[in-house]
Amino acid sequence: MNTHLTAQQRNDIALGTADAAASAHLAVCVRCHAEAEATAAALASFRLAAVRWSEQAAVRAWLPQSNRRLKVAAWPAWALAAVLLVGMAIPLARRQSPPPAAVSAQAQLSRDNQLLARIDTEIGASAPAALQPLQNVQ
C-alpha cells in the first residue's frame, strides 16, 4: 500500500495550501520531504530566472532601437569599413579627368557663324515665324 503523498498533495504543499495530514506526513517521510525540497528549489530557480528576464526586458525597453540592434563588437568593423571607403575615395577624387577632346578653332568658328546667321535672320524678320503666313494675306 502506497502511503506517500499524491500529486495533488505535493502541489498543495508547493502552493502552501496543504492540509494538516499532508504536512504531518511531510515532516516524517524522508522521501516526500526530499521531493518537496526538489520541487521548491526548481520553483525558486524558475522564479529567479523570470525576475532576471523581466528586469533585463525592462532595461531593453528603455534603450533606443539603435542601441539594441547594433552590438558594441560591430563598431570596429563599421569604423574600418568607413576608413577604407574614404581611403579609396580620396585618390579617385584627386585624379584629374583628361581634358576634353580639343575642338579645332576653325570648326568652332564655323558653328558660331552659322548660329549668328540664324539669329540675324530671325531678328531681321518683321514678324515672328508663327505669324509670317499672315503677312502675305492682304
Which cell numbers in the block locate residue 86? Answer: 574614404
pLDDT, tens digit, for every residue of 55-102?
888 777 776 665 555 556 677 777 888 888 887 777 766 666 555 555
What is this structure's pTM?
0.40
* Mean pLDDT (whole number) for 27-39: 90
Domain positions in the chain are 7-81
Arithmetic mean of pLDDT over the chain: 78
Q: What does the pLDDT read at residue 100?
A: 55
Q: How far apart are CA 46 and CA 40, in angstroms?
A: 10
* Mean pLDDT (whole number) for 10-34: 89
Is 99 strand, coil or helix? coil
Q: How far apart are CA 74 and CA 57, in angstroms?
A: 22
What confidence category does residue 1 fall into, taking pLDDT thresholds of 50, 70 and 90?
A: very low
